[in-house]
Structure 1
Amino acid sequence: MTSRAPSDGVWAVVTVHRPERVPPLLADLGAQVTGIIVVDDGSGPEFDPIRAEIASSGALMIALEHNSGIGAALNHGIRSAIDNGANAIVTFDQDSTVAPGFVTALSAARENALAHRVPAGPVVPEFFADVSQAGPSTRQGVVYAAHAIQSGMYLPADVVERVGLMDESLFIDLVDTDFEIRCRDADLPCIIAPGLRLPHRLGARYRIPGPLGALLPTLTLSTPFRYYYRARNRIVLGRRHPRHRARLHRDARADYAYFLIAWMLAKPRSTMRKLLAAGFRDGRDERMGRMRPALATEAARVTWRARPLPDAESA
């Protein structure tokens, strides 16, 4: 792990929460980076054996005492990487996988942009879970990101120094969107590495019954508590970034349609309605951080009026 790697000076930061095993991603990254930092976001003492396995693989293990959210977990890892001399950091979720040369492709995309005198900040793969992140391109062929997911994001240390870290108060959901917009406002727009793919599992796939299923036979649904954060942070980002109102309104409309579907499929619907209403209200009141424990307890009781698909069928 300490020997010279193809992307020397680049460190990987991998966030995990209640991991069932050592993420296979770590082995895939070993030959591509100078070092790997794994941040466990408050999984608890029962996960000590897995954390010990991760540490024995050569990764630097950071275990947070409490679940602090993706922003805080990423920031712990990014700060540690910079303290260890990283000139760039690539961030990942535990569910991502990478092919050989992935990190080099990200770095090469930024070097190409700078060689053409195109300002560039973070770099993301063109495809995240088969969804294109590409936006408009420059005359020099550099492609900007239309939106950017943090897993698989290449962060030069000088960008972090100029823009700052992730906003921990958002806790989870749209943390990467907020960071991407801040980079753009600092004239360090996010660009893509053309053709590069990052396979990733987005939530769980379900088969939808009834009339709705005729329109949407299958659908990816998140853990119910996530809808609170998504609703809250949509309101917060809309207020925070008025220069990007058109883009954020467009994204919000898509989310609101998704919220309606989630409400229709939730059991009980009254609890999903309560989660969404609390998110919108807390967004307007700028009540940030982790959701209230009583609300989290209610969210944990929500189930879906849908049949989960086996992993093979979901892929």
Structure 2
Amino acid sequence: MTDINGTTDTPPRPVAVVTAFRAPDDLVERIASLNAQVDKVIVVDDGSHSLGRLGLRDPDVVTIELEENVGIAAALNVGLDKARELGATHVLTMDQDSSLPGEYVREALQHLHRLQARGFRVAAVSPARFGEFLVSTTPGTPHPRDPIQSGQVVPMAVFDEVGGFDERLFIDGVDTEFTLRARGAGYEFWVLPGADMDHSLGEKIPVMVFGRHLTLFGKKRNHYYHAPFRTYYAVRNGLVLWRLHRRGNLGWLTRRTLALFWVTALGIVLSSDRDAQFIATVHGLGDGMRMRLGRIPEKTLRALARRRR
């Protein structure tokens, strides 16, 4: 019997859901590492048909090949449905390029249980650091401002109440939208102190000013490159979040939008495909204002391809 916080009278049964697209060869090692921490690993290939060559034969690894690319939100939801079918009490959501310490799931479940025993409504526990970045938390609290979905341990009861991921967003902002929806339902996200997750952030480009690497607050600043189509989704979905969740989140969304503006501006200025980055931003703004959701339009992809030549 599961209560509203996801606690049970029986031992937890965590299941990992890993989304893949053009799965890299080293995903096999990551899955093996996860498999030692959870009851089952569900790998959902988002339409790239790339899992067959990996030779995943472990009975505790369930592979699902989607016929077409439907976006990370839909792929995650397919994995969640399968995890529910397998009797999961908790779900660990993971990107294909993320790796966790060997005791992470056990420690996350223990932390989650302690918080629930104190009466907190816990949406998820996530790592305190990913890549080279310490997770930004609300000042004076252990609550991450905008936790990425990779590395989160979520009670299945939370998904049952709040719902899964918003498939209209396709990619980018999917985790943020879930965070805002869960918080609106009275849940909070927590970091697991001391837990580090290896996570790919994209190609690092130094921010140069007058030929010197920019240093702010004692730290050298870099821009992490993403392809123009990702810029489109980030900009579009950033506007959509305002439409969906502005009530009660004005300050939070303002800070996030300013950060997005900075990242997008750096992409336009620093990237070798700056023309395509600019076009992606313009199209993302237009579609976001019109609430045109789902997969990036083909005409936008063609415009980006022309600008990248």
* TM norm structure 1: 0.86
In structure 2, the residue matched to 1:176 is 175
Structure 2: unaligned runs, 5 residues or longer: 1-10, 215-219
2:293 is the counterpart of 1:291: no
Per-residue deviation, 1:260: 1.1
- What is the number of residues matched between the two proteins? 292
Give the Cα–Cα distance (whole angstroms) in 1 for the partners of residues 190 and 126 of structure 2: 6
Per-residue deviation, 1:131: 2.1
Give the Cα–Cα distance (whole angstroms) in 1 for the partners of residues 60 and 264 of structure 2: 42
In structure 1, what residue type is equivalent to 2:263? Y
Percent identity of equivalent pairs: 32
Per-residue deviation, 1:135: 2.4
**Cα contact 2:279–2:303 (8 A) shared by 1:** no
Per-residue CA distance 1:151-174 (angstroms, 9 max, x = gap) = 001111100011000001001111
Superposition map of 1:140-219 within 5 A: 143-207=142-206, 211=210, 214-215=213-214, 218-219=222-223
Q: Say if 1:74 and 1:167 are closer, same or farther in 2 by CA, change over 3 A.
A: same
In structure 1, the residue matched to 2:94 is 92
Structure 1: unaligned runs, 5 residues or longer: 1-6, 305-315
Give the one of 229, 235, 243 matched to 1:231. 235
Give the Cα–Cα distance (whole angstroms) in 2 for the partners of residues 268 and 33 of structure 1: 42
In structure 2, what residue type is equivalent to 1:85? G
**Cα contact 1:238–1:249 (8 A) shared by 2:** no
**Cα contact 1:128–1:149 (8 A) shared by 2:** no
Give the Cα–Cα distance (whole angstroms) in 1 for the partners of residues 56 and 301 of structure 2: 29
Give the one of 232, 253, 270 matched to 1:265. 270
**Cα contact 1:130–1:197 (8 A) shared by 2:** no
Per-residue CA distance 1:72-116 (angstroms, 9 max, x = gap) = 111010110001110110000011111111101111121111111
Q: Say if 1:161 and 1:257 are closer, same or farther in 2 by CA, change over 3 A.
A: same
2:63 is the counterpart of 1:69: no
Per-residue deviation, 1:279: 0.4
In structure 1, the residue matched to 2:250 is 245
* TM norm structure 2: 0.87
In structure 2, the residue matched to 1:39 is 44
RMSD of aligned alpha carbons: 2.3
Q: Say if 1:225 and 1:105 are closer, same or farther in 2 by CA, change over 3 A.
A: same
2:53 is the counterpart of 1:50: yes
Per-residue deviation, 1:271: 2.7
Q: Say if 1:254 and 1:111 are closer, same or farther in 2 by CA, change over 3 A.
A: same
Q: Say if 1:80 and 1:272 are closer, same or farther in 2 by CA, change over 3 A.
A: same
In structure 2, the residue matched to 1:111 is 113
In structure 2, the residue matched to 1:29 is 34
Per-residue CA distance 1:151-209 (angstroms, 9 max, x = gap) = 00111110001100000100111100110111111111111111111111111223566
Give the one of 251, 260, 277 matched to 1:255. 260
Per-residue deviation, 1:132: 2.5
Per-residue deviation, 1:251: 1.0
Per-residue deviation, 1:211: 3.4
